[in-house]
Amino acid sequence: MHVKQDLKPVNKRCISPVGYFETEDFNQYTNDELMAMLVGAECDERENRKLGRALQPAKFRHKASIEHVNYDNDRGINRHQLHRLADCEFIKRKENLLFTGSTGIGKNYIASALGHQACALGCRVNYS
């Protein structure tokens, strides 16, 4: 199978398969596997753009994630409680969260991490 190496995206929404063909030995894949790779890449690209569109208007201070929260004992952050909040069910129940604690404990970071998680789950967020 010969693949033309100078494929270009038709528009900004179209991905270019050239990157796949340069990084992997595409001759080892069947046509169905190559098509599955391209469809998977397109799905990933659309999901990334969707998340980017959700994060941009939220105006977060930090690029935060639940996985990167520091759970040291002196900070008093309950790992299990934070992971329960990460499913964002409190948003569906229309409940509020109030973060209290001393300066520098990570309240803004945790709020940003939960906001990023909410965006990833499809909720609209405004960090203010």
- Domains in the chain: boundaries: 18-58, 66-120
Per-residue pLDDT band for 104 (boundaries 50, 70, 90) equals: confident
CA angle, residues 98, 128, 110, in degrees to nearest 5? 50
Distance CA 98, CA 6 (A): 54
Is the full-model pTM beyond 0.85? no
**Helices and strands (DSSP H and E) totals, the chain:** 5, 0
Tens digit of each residue's pLDDT (9 = 90 or more) over 24-82: 666 787 888 888 888 888 888 888 888 877 777 777 888 888 888 888 877 778 889 88
